[in-house]
Structure 1
């Protein structure tokens, strides 16, 4: 464990202790510092304080920086398709069938296993099993994910998700022929009381908005682009089912008779965000995977 001392300066008096400490090192996030305070790793004049403690001039702050928790996730060489990487963020194109992070009983072959082999530095905010993971896409959805390599980047990217400034566009094949070219689905989502592993539209659920536009129509299917305004679990899958156009191949929310694809025909094709350090807007595009291209060719015939 590392220790650091700091004396409160004139321009810091009256500020909250968590704000002051997170300002001492750009790699320390406020969330992380608040946990240190709760764990008793921050002393003010030798005493434990609460996270909302207001500092006084010449307060003596003693910070004990805990050692990072040892991960019990095994790094694995998984030949990840990295679209972008620097010291703060990484953008990866996840293949269909890959789980994002380990869970009990499923500890290998996940994106996190591959990330840990690819880079040694990942944000620790989300804990041992989800290092660096800011948002996720379902196992059978392919496409782009942003990953945080330090806590400063993690906090910035999470805030952008909360503020709805991240661009996330998905391509999907749905059952049925959508008659209108554009639409917005504004319907709150929550757990299905009959099936806790499924989501559904519920009156008092979390606010959820999906915008879509039609790219191409076929006899019994439509190829659409969906843009997320919010990012709820299974959002596009549940919203498209709700308006009567479930995703092709969706084992949970779609019909049994469907197109020949292993999992829902959904691909996170465009991802854009503001870089946490440079404030530059970055946008990436990943082409459709082969299986969806084959389905579209089949439908055109």
Structure 2
């Protein structure tokens, strides 16, 4: 574990925190700093900050994170459910319980380990632990994840995500019966100040987040919804559905204590649409609900 504990000098010029840290901390790139800021791992005066934050004299900068130099993503033979693949991109249907990339406590058995065995080469923009990873989905969320095989494809896909032109649709089974047919949750998300392992809808130290949903099917005590992400904040759908009083079923972090035994949230990324980085063709990939999710819905229909 690597730690940062720095007091900004009294004569320091006002500059973005990523630039400042890259100059004063050895072997820490601006891209790595940006990732740590996005994760909420870098604090200034005890608070989470945004990437555009400019340091001030006497600011106290602290962080604790896994040093990537000490880790390495090694290829591992793994059964992958490939839904689309060509020379530039690969779209995987990720099963429940699989972490996307290595990190502290998960240095093997991740999707990246399996991808490196399958592809041999992935884009290097996100470093040695997240090669090819353009976006992520949680460990217990299932469904589609797009991965870049080269830097050109990675840059194109990242720009599409930034411009909100990638269409990502999820199915979620939530607690309670939602009476209206459509809805938009427009509420900023940041680190929960009471629990650093959770995210929350908060007014300060947060980023804009917007989720659109529509009701697909209603049951006696639950609702199946389809969610479309306009932004891609950590745990966004899970946090937003909890915020409106309809947490995702099986979510051990954001839902009720007494819920179905599902070994994780019933949340599935079922459709992904993007522009191909080379041909500019519009590509749509789909993945059916996993068996457990589908079986639970059938049980609810027959109840």
TM (normalized to structure 1)? 0.76
Shift of the alpha carbon at 1:197? 1.0
Indicate conservation of the 8 Å contact 2:250/2:266, yes or no: yes
Given the superposition, is the C-alpha separation of residues 282 and 220 from structure 1 closer, same or farther in structure 2, using an over 3 Å criterion? Answer: same
Indicate conservation of the 8 Å contact 2:71/2:107, yes or no: no
Q: SS of the counterpart of 1:227?
A: strand
Once the two structures are superposed, residues 121-152 of structure 1 have per-residue CA deviations (whole angstroms, 9 ceiling, x without a partner) of 20000001000000000000000010000111
Q: SS of the counterpart of 2:279?
A: coil
Which runs of 5 or more residues in structure 1 are unaligned? 1-30, 33-68
CA–CA separation in structure 2 for the residues paired with 1:96 and 1:70: 27
Flag as ranges the 4+ runs of structure 1 deviating above 6 A. none
Which runs of 5 or more residues in structure 2 are unaligned? 1-29, 32-68
CA–CA separation in structure 1 for the residues paired with 2:286 and 2:85: 15
Q: SS of the counterpart of 1:96?
A: coil
CA–CA separation in structure 2 for the residues paired with 1:276 and 1:115: 19
CA–CA separation in structure 2 for the residues paired with 1:70 and 1:152: 28
Given the superposition, is the C-alpha separation of residues 70 and 90 from structure 1 closer, same or farther in structure 2, using an over 3 Å criterion? Answer: farther
Indicate conservation of the 8 Å contact 2:72/2:128, yes or no: yes
Q: SS of the counterpart of 2:159?
A: helix
Given the superposition, is the C-alpha separation of residues 199 and 71 from structure 1 closer, same or farther in structure 2, using an over 3 Å criterion? Answer: closer
Query: What does residue range 37-76 of structure 1 map to in structure 2 within 5 Å?
Result: 72-76=72-76
- The structure whose Rg is larger is 1
Query: What does residue range 272-283 of structure 1 map to in structure 2 within 5 Å?
Result: 272-283=273-284
CA–CA separation in structure 2 for the residues paired with 1:105 and 1:227: 31
Indicate conservation of the 8 Å contact 1:259/1:295, yes or no: no
User: Are residues 1:232 and 2:230 paired?
Assistant: no
CA–CA separation in structure 2 for the residues paired with 1:106 and 1:210: 29
Given the superposition, is the C-alpha separation of residues 121 and 70 from structure 1 closer, same or farther in structure 2, using an over 3 Å criterion? Answer: farther
Shift of the alpha carbon at 1:71? 8.1
Q: SS of the counterpart of 2:207?
A: coil
User: Are residues 1:170 and 2:170 paired?
Assistant: yes
CA–CA separation in structure 1 for the residues paired with 2:154 and 2:71: 18
Given the superposition, is the C-alpha separation of residues 181 and 175 from structure 1 closer, same or farther in structure 2, using an over 3 Å criterion? Answer: same
CA–CA separation in structure 1 for the residues paired with 2:297 and 2:260: 10
Query: What does residue range 1-301 of structure 1 map to in structure 2 within 5 Å?
Result: 72-204=72-204, 205-301=206-302
Indicate conservation of the 8 Å contact 1:70/1:128, yes or no: no
Q: SS of the counterpart of 2:91?
A: strand
Farther-moved stretch of structure 1 (69-78 vs 143-152): 69-78
Once the two structures are superposed, residues 25-55 of structure 1 have per-residue CA deviations (whole angstroms, 9 ceiling, x without a partner) of xxxxxx99xxxxxxxxxxxxxxxxxxxxxxx
Q: SS of the counterpart of 2:116?
A: helix
Q: SS of the counterpart of 1:127?
A: coil
Q: SS of the counterpart of 1:72?
A: coil
Shift of the alpha carbon at 1:206? 0.5
Q: SS of the counterpart of 1:152?
A: helix
Q: SS of the counterpart of 1:179?
A: coil
